[in-house]
Amino acid sequence: MSAPFDPAPFRARRARVLKHMQQNGGGVALIATAPERMRNRETAYPYRFDSYFHYLTGFAEPQATLVLIADANPRSILFCREKNVERETWEGFHYGPEAAAAQFAFDEAHACTELAERLPALISGGQPLWCAFGHEDEATAFDALHAALIAVRQNARAGWCAPATLHDIRHLLDEMRLIKDEAERTLMRRAGVIARDAHIRAMRATRPGRYEYEIEAELLHAFRAAGATGPAYTNIVASGANACTLHYTANDRQMHAGELLLIDAGCELEGYASDITRTFPVSGRFSAAQRAVYELVLAMQQAAAAATRPGASFDAPHEAAVDTLIDGLRALKLLSGSREEIVETKSWQRFYMHRTGHWLGRDVHDVGAYRPHDKPRTLAVGMTLTIEPGCYIRAAADIDPAFHDIGIRIEDDALVTADGCQLYTADTPKTVAEIETLMQSAQATS
């Protein structure tokens, strides 16, 4: 059973937003959750709330909007679906305004059908408006806002005054979301543990002759059985040459002895993502060439992790990984020329064409500017990011056939700490010895 809901972290985040608004002219903020999306006729996709909305509320139902009022009496108001017992027969429990206000610690709550009616008066004092402009999930709120702005202007003679200042609230929310609070760190670690266990289950199930989708099924089973919502993104289960296709998701090929299997899979837990990649031999034992490239990618990850610390630039881990890669590719005779020539011509990009990480949080590629004020972001305690170097060697006439179709990525999730970073998913089997031991014991007992 999951722990009882604690509104405290959400209320604390709303208080921070209100304080920031008050320090910047006050005003009214409007943050809507995501719409329900139809999959096809009469069938909807599983519902996923908007990340900004859920960050501030913890409220997971659709058709909801948060309104924050930053005046002398700062308060938060939820608009949500009315309690409707008949509808619940079809759709399951929903709170209704009264219970939602009590459970989620809002100062007020009303039916979502009242938003359009109440909004004009709420924004009629000429105070600034705070919204997420151009965010697709805000469409419903913007319909109400558009009508409210017209209504305010039409009531000018009654003393109503339309807002003169518009703020994009994401500038604030993105900065807040970049530094994870304790509640977020706890959830992200738990999402990491579930993904770790799913990867172990997938490794144990892998053997020659099985199909990629059979292994994907093991991952999905592990996620749901542990209470996660499901995958945080479409999982990649890529064997042989498929591992060199970075966004491969067909997951429908039969796997053979002698090949590698790359699995990029993470789950979503209470709105937070994990994102782990492991690469291992289908038969349980690396070939000499596979092992050499694997050790190189592992060294890239170690170099990147060592460069991930407060005060370092967001680019530092990537630069450290690329430095290690260049030395390794020269040693393996996969690249020729001097180090300087390789750096100058960027010939290494033939084998490594993505960056070494991204912010991780509610969204697997989480919010937060990478180059605020046109300079790389400085890492700070509480930021969470992936460290995911790779090396992808497609078959080609100028490449030793022993290296053909070796696609390797090793990805862990990192929390920036006071003295560096903690790779909190690193206990997913990762060294050659750990992987070979686990897989051979699994294959011996099957």
User: Where on the chain is the footprint of ligand GLY (CB under 6 A)?
Assistant: 233, 264, 275, 358, 364, 388, 411
Candidate list 290, 386, 422, 428; residue touching Mn ion; CB under 5 A = 386
Q: Give the per-residue contact string, 49-68, with Mn ion (x = CB under 5 A; - = no).
A: --------------------
Query: Could you say which of Mn ion, ligand GLY, none residue 178 binds, taking C-beta under 5 to 8 angstroms by partner kind?
Result: none
Query: Could you say which of Mn ion, ligand GLY, none residue 405 binds, taking C-beta under 5 to 8 angstroms by partner kind?
Result: none
| DSSP code per residue over 396-438 | -TTS-GGGTTEEEE-BEEEEEETTEEEETTTTSS-SHHHHHHH
Q: Which is nearer to ligand GLY, 263 or 296 (CB)?
A: 263
Smallest gap, in angstroms, from Cβ of residue 37 to ligand GLY?
A: 21
Contacts 24+ apart (CB under 8 A), 318-324: 318/355, 318/356, 318/357, 321/352, 321/356, 321/389, 322/348, 322/352, 322/356, 324/296, 324/299, 324/300
Q: Which is nearer to ligand GLY, 333 or 365 (CB)?
A: 365
Q: Which is nearer to Mn ion, 333 or 365 (CB)?
A: 365
Query: Could you say which of ligand GLY, Mn ion, none residue 185 binds, taking C-beta under 5 to 8 angstroms by partner kind?
Result: none
366 binds Mn ion (CB under 5 A): no
| DSSP code per residue over 57-125 | H----SS-EEEEEESSS-EEEEEEPPP-HHHHHHH-----HHHHHHHHT-SEEEEGGGHHHHHHHHTTB
Among 13-21, 194-202, 368-376, 409-417, which window interacts with Mn ion (CB under 5 A)?
409-417
Q: Which is nearer to ligand GLY, 176 or 263 (CB)?
A: 263
Smallest gap, in angstroms, from Cβ of residue 414 to ligand GLY?
A: 13
Whether 411 contacts 297, CB under 8 Å: no
Q: Is 395 helix (H, G, I), strand (E, B) or coil?
A: coil
Q: Give the per-residue contact string, 256-285, with Mn ion (x = CB under 5 A; - = no).
A: --------x----------x----------
Distance CA 277, CA 411 (A): 5
Distance CA 241, CA 395 (A): 8
Q: State the residues that interact with Mn ion by CB under 5 A.
A: 264, 275, 386, 411
